[in-house]
Amino acid sequence: MQENNIELIVPGHHGKERLDVYLCGHLPSVTRAKIKKLIDDNDVTVNELPTKAGHIIRPGEIIKIKFPDTPKSTLEPEDIPLDIIYEDDYLLVVNKQPGMVVHPAYGNKTGTLVNALLAHCNRLSDVGGQTRPGLVHRLDKDTSGLLVIAKDDVTHVELAKQLSARKIEREYRAVVWKHLKEKEGRIEAALARHPKDRIKMTINPEGKQAVTHYKVLEELPLASYVKLNLETGRTHQIRVHMASLGHPVFSDSTYGGRGKQLAGMNTERTKFVTRLLKKFNRQMLHAKSIGFVHPALHKMMRFDSDIPGDMQELLETLRNSGV
């Protein structure tokens, strides 16, 4: 097992900056509060000496960060089956089922992926905080597919750095409404919280940069089957980007993938689509594959998952519909 510490060397071209600010920029998944606690507890040294958060870093200085053993979580472990694609001493890759909430929050205290992970693992990283142990990234409740989970803080930080540097490969599959004019393209549109509905995201030039690549794999009656690759991983990115093109993800109630699609349809199509929306009532989005450099083994790892049963059934139903 690797030691739970990280070493950073301040590059020669780096200007004046506070130590805590520098660490926040270079450890994107570690909260400011945790960085402050690490410094206050003398778990951060500069040239082998403990220092203060306000220390002004200088080129060539060696910063070492020691992550203490993760405290036992106060969350309740639950014996919930997990579809584990890969596991070693450092991380897991899990295929999340649709309908499973990733971590406990208001209204979802139990039955989450984190509750299941706590029952499966002896330990998980604490970088993301006590309510999100192990989570390097997340998926929406109704989105299925692959997630990488970190067992220790160093693994978590190294994976998060790859994520921030856009070095983690992520490929999705989705069923979206109608046929796209351009069968392949790049969507670049910054995202921010909706000003009136805090649950939703919206395109906003003042928001965080977001880039999605898409390619139509198959045109179906009323819909398209699409491959999507992420450069960035913003909240609801694919769902908002596809809706912005006028092609929301099938059955996505938040971004126009349900009732709005019935407008202008004849009676036969309206009845058919109404039946589909009732049967397939979650957004048809699946995180199919993921690739990253293993932080401890230092080799490229790639994992793939099957399209979930409900999405396969929807595709077959559309192919055979004749509408």
What pLDDT shows up at residue 11?
A: 87
Is the residue at 9 inside a domain? Answer: yes
Q: In 3-state terms, what secondary structure has residue 179?
A: coil
Is there a single domain that holds both residue 158 and residue 215? no
Is there a single domain that holds both residue 82 and residue 137? yes
Is there a single domain that holds both residue 46 and residue 57? yes
What pLDDT shows up at residue 26?
A: 79
Please say which residue of 66, 85, 114 terminates a domain. Answer: 66
Residue that is written with structure tokens 């604490």 in the block: 126
β-pair type (285-293, 223-230): unpaired
What pLDDT shows up at residue 164?
A: 85
Distance CA 165, CA 160 (A): 8
Is the residue at 291 inside a domain? Answer: no
What pLDDT shows up at residue 111?
A: 85
What pLDDT shows up at residue 70?
A: 60
Please say which residue of 106, 140, 165 terminates a domain. Answer: 165
Is the residue at 300 inside a domain? Answer: no
Residue 114 per-residue DSSP state: H
The domain tally of the chain equals 3
Q: What are the CA-CA distances from residue 111 to residues 19, 282, 322 (Å)?
A: 39, 18, 40
- In terms of residue numbers, what domain contains 258? 170-286+313-319
What pLDDT shows up at residue 126?
A: 82
Note whether 112 and 131 are within 8 A (CB): no
Please say which residue of 100, 130, 165 terminates a domain. Answer: 165
Is there a single domain that holds both residue 113 and residue 175? no
What pLDDT shows up at residue 69?
A: 67
Q: What are the CA-CA distances from residue 20 to residues 38, 53, 65, 129, 162 (Å)?
A: 10, 5, 12, 18, 21
β-pair type (184-188, 169-177): unpaired
What pLDDT shows up at residue 1?
A: 37
Torsion-angle region of 273 (φ positive above 0: left; ψ -120 to 50: alpha; else: beta): alpha
pLDDT, tens digit (0-9, with 9 covering 90-100), for 103-159: 877 666 788 999 999 999 988 888 777 678 899 999 999 999 999 999 998 899 899
Radius of gyration of the chain (CA): 22
Half-sphere exposure in the Cβ direction for 301 (13 Å, CA):
18
What pLDDT shows up at residue 24?
A: 84
Is the residue at 97 inside a domain? Answer: yes
Q: What are the CA-CA distances from residue 117 to residues 105, 147, 150, 223, 311 (Å)?
A: 16, 12, 11, 36, 25
Listing DSSP states for 88-112 in one string gives: -SSEEEEEEPTT--SS-BTTB-SSS
Is the residue at 297 inside a domain? Answer: no
First to last CA, the chain: 58
Is there a single domain that holds both residue 47 and residue 94? no
Is there a single domain that holds both residue 158 and residue 89? yes
Is there a single domain that holds both residue 122 and residue 106? yes
Is there a single domain that holds both residue 146 and residue 202? no
Distance CA 207, CA 200 (A): 13
Residue 105: CATH number of its domain: 3.30.2350.10
Bridge partners, residue 93, by sequence: 86, 148
Stretches where the chain sits below pLDDT 70 are 1-3, 69-73, 106-108, 130
Is there a single domain that holds both residue 207 and residue 277? yes
Is there a single domain that holds both residue 243 and residue 192? yes
What pLDDT shows up at residue 2?
A: 43
Torsion-angle region of 8 (φ positive above 0: left; ψ -120 to 50: alpha; else: beta): beta
What pLDDT shows up at residue 115?
A: 92
What amino acid positions are annotated as catalytic residues?
140
Half-sphere exposure in the Cβ direction for 154 (13 Å, CA):
20
User: Distance of alpha carbon 253 from its chain centroid, rounded?
Assistant: 20
Is the residue at 298 inside a domain? Answer: no
Is the residue at 215 inside a domain? Answer: yes
Is the residue at 306 inside a domain? Answer: no
Is there a single domain that holds both residue 176 and residue 278? yes
Is there a single domain that holds both residue 156 and residue 242? no
